[in-house]
Chain A
Amino acid sequence: MKSRGFRKAVNNVMLTLTGIFTVITVSSLFVILGYLLFNGGKSLDWNFFTKLPLSPGEEGGGMANAIVGSAVIVGLAALIGIPVGFLAGVYLSEYESKAFASVVRYVADLLNGVPSIVIGIVAWTLVVVPMRSFSALAAAVGLAIMLIPIVTRQTEQFLREVPNSLREGALALGAHKWRMIATVVVPAGSKGVLTGMILGIARVAGETAPLLFTAFNNQFWTDSLRQPVATLPVQIYMRATSPYDDWHRQAWAAGLVLIALVLVSNIAARIVLARGVSVPRG
């Protein structure tokens, strides 16, 4: 047996070390945010939001088309992904038939872990090849495939938190099951479900890899979903890896805008959730 003093020393050293490790990890978040705020803040100007990009090497210009492009693609992805994910989540939570439901659940979790670049290949095959053009639509399909499993699992989770007494109450009053789900269960869990959807959208909004060969890129405005389109994440990638200083500046500005969107939705979602689901747990 080692001496008491030695064991105490090991105890103190190791416990301090775990604290230091935690500080290192948490501070990396603040270093990241600080850098973005500093570099992005000094690069961001009004032109960024209103002007089109200029040709490589020219000073100035903005990313108005990329901002709109991202919004359109993410909006379209939500339009496809949210209803599918939500209804699948309702099935898992309310109509569980054991074996099949656990298969769906497991597959949804696995889909969640599929590398985003692979999803890009799939969207390319399914949409870009038949349509013979890079397009906003292809990018939206890719992002929707990523969004569905997230929304499904979140919907299921928050609907399960609705106490069973509410379900029984509704059934006892003579409601049919679908009416009970539509008028009691879903409204009761709506806060959590909505939060889950927002988190899911925030997650796919920052994805870049699935856009590289679906949305591709575009210097100009486009009014068609069937054409290549500029997006914020791809612009960050292109500009950060370019040799031009002015493009680096714009990459920082775009990075700040993107992170602001993602973090604000994350923090807002947590705050809403921290107040609990809208019914007390039973």
Chain B
Amino acid sequence: MATGVQVDHRVRPLDQVGDTIARLITLVFAASIVLAAVLIVSVLWKDSAPAREKLGWGFLISSQWNPVTEQFGGLPFIYGTVVTSVLALLISVPLGLGSAIFLSELAPPRLSSALTFLIELLAAIPSVIYGLLAIFTLVPLMRVYIEPFLRSTLGFLPLFQGLAYGVGYLTAGVILAIMTLPFIISVSRESLLAVPREQREAALALGATSWETTWKVVVPYARLGIMGSIFLGLARALGETMAVTMVIGNSSAIHASLFAPGHTIAAVIANEFAEATGDVYKGVLIELGLVLFCLTIILNGLARLMILATTGKGSRRA
């Protein structure tokens, strides 16, 4: 053809090796992700060695914490972490599941995606900002209104007795609830949306009300994904650092009352790591970090598998 287009038939040497090189380079970087994970585990393991040799794992069930006299008991932190996370889920699971049902079953699609976007913005707010707001708004609110109210109504339980400090397990639980909500809602909503239409139509055709259809058919069908979203939220709550550190009250003892100040694993690391002196003290904090790391990895791992089974997303091709 006389179009003047010249086809370049020379084989460029770069092309021949280019494929191999490109594949190798990207492979190396992909492998570096796995290496990073291995690195994290080995760093935590190696740095906690002084503590593991001196105290073993038994320190996790001792409740005496006094770094000055080298008494290291991890129980107050584990207790605080578990209590605040459970409180958070007690609030965020009903709220989150309810919202997810509204967004997937009732709201028109456009409204649903607009609201979901707003809810997901909650997840983008940095943790330290939650802490800032909590200190100046939630803490006074808890001290003046909510905690006295709970004490006068549910005060017969040891959980709701004692002084209302404002800072403590309950306040940390509330702030964690708000922070875990977006994860629970967005994953639960996707799981509910993945339930086949026929399931709903069949239930409705049998005469079920909308609520019965949702609660007895749709929710059970999506239960694995919903469980996954709860695990994901729990993992977030366990590892959450700044907001909790700012409102938990930093008391290294176990208190029965939810109003009392406490401590969590993440908070004690944030508070004491920079000034921890001596290999054992630092090692204990790192060992606590290792415990936290393992917990969140297990929960995340389970959550991803559950979500994968329900929505076909999770860790498979994004």
Query: Which A positions have Cβ atoms within 8 angstroms of B?
Result: 7-8, 10-11, 14-15, 17-22, 24-26, 28-29, 32, 35-36, 39, 83-84, 87-88, 90-92, 94-95, 100-111, 113-122, 124-126, 145, 148-149, 152-153, 156-157, 160, 176-179, 181-182, 202-203, 205-209, 212-213, 216, 233, 236-237, 240-241, 248, 251-252, 255, 258-259, 262-263, 266-267, 270
CB-CB < 8 A to B185: which residues of A?
25
Mask for B118-140, Cβ within 8 A of A = 1, else 0?
11011011111111110111000
Choose one: B33, B94, B98; the contact of A111 (CB below 8 Å).
B33
Check: B65 CB closer than 8 A to any chain A CB: no
Check if A176 sits within 8 Å of B126, measured CB to CB: no
Complex Cα spacing A103 to B31, Å: 10
CB-CB < 8 A to B26: which residues of A?
87-88, 90-91, 94-95
Check: B40 CB closer than 8 A to any chain A CB: yes
Check if B15 sits within 8 Å of A179, measured CB to CB: yes
Check if A236 sits within 8 Å of B128, measured CB to CB: yes
Q: List 27 A-B contacts (CB under 8 A).
A: A15-B211, A18-B105, A20-B98, A22-B99, A26-B119, A29-B121, A88-B30, A94-B26, A95-B27, A110-B37, A111-B40, A113-B239, A113-B297, A115-B241, A115-B266, A115-B292, A117-B269, A118-B292, A122-B43, A145-B36, A153-B318, A176-B15, A177-B19, A209-B241, A233-B242, A237-B131, A255-B132
Check if A115 sits within 8 Å of B293, measured CB to CB: yes
Complex Cα spacing A206 to B107, Å: 32
Complex Cα spacing A10 to B296, Å: 38
CB-CB < 8 A to B25: which residues of A?
87
Check: B147 CB closer than 8 A to any chain A CB: no
B35 to chain A, nearest CB (A): 10
Which of B22, B101, B304 has the largest number of chain A CB atoms within 10 A? Answer: B22
Check if B18 sits within 8 Å of A114, measured CB to CB: no
CB-CB < 8 A to B236: which residues of A?
113
Closest to A154 in B: B318
Check if A106 sits within 8 Å of B304, measured CB to CB: yes
Which of B18, B36, B106, B246 has the largest number of chain A CB atoms within 10 A? Answer: B36
Q: A149 with B33: in contact, given A117-B241, A121-B43 (CB under 8 Å)?
A: yes
Check if A116 sits within 8 Å of B241, measured CB to CB: yes
Q: Do most interface residues of chain A lie in helix, strand or loop, or is the interface mixed?
A: helix
CB-CB < 8 A to B31: which residues of A?
104
Q: Do most interface residues of chain B lie in helix, strand or loop, or is the interface mixed?
A: helix
Complex Cα spacing A15 to B299, Å: 31
CB-CB < 8 A to A115: which residues of B?
238-241, 266, 292-293, 296
Check: B301 CB closer than 8 A to any chain A CB: yes
Complex Cα spacing A17 to B98, Å: 7
Check if B122 sits within 8 Å of A28, measured CB to CB: yes
Q: 8 Å CB contacts to A: which residues of B166-211?
A: 178, 181, 185, 209-211
B154 to chain A, nearest CB (A): 22
Check: B34 CB closer than 8 A to any chain A CB: yes
Q: Top 5 nearest A-B pairs by Cβ distance?
A: A206-B126, A115-B239, A21-B98, A91-B26, A178-B22
CB-CB < 8 A to A92: which residues of B?
30
CB-CB < 8 A to B315: which residues of A?
102, 105-106, 109
Check if B297 sits within 8 Å of A241, measured CB to CB: no
Complex Cα spacing A140 to B37, Å: 17
B178 to chain A, nearest CB (A): 6
Check: B212 CB closer than 8 A to any chain A CB: yes
Closest to B268 in A: A117
B305 to chain A, nearest CB (A): 9
Check if B121 sits within 8 Å of A263, measured CB to CB: yes
Check if A181 sits within 8 Å of B22, measured CB to CB: yes
Check: B90 CB closer than 8 A to any chain A CB: no
Q: A88 with B32: in contact, given A25-B95, A122-B44 (CB under 8 Å)?
A: yes
CB-CB < 8 A to A11: which residues of B?
209-212
B161 to chain A, nearest CB (A): 27
Check: B273 CB closer than 8 A to any chain A CB: yes
Closest to A175 in B: B15
Check if B211 sits within 8 Å of A21, measured CB to CB: no
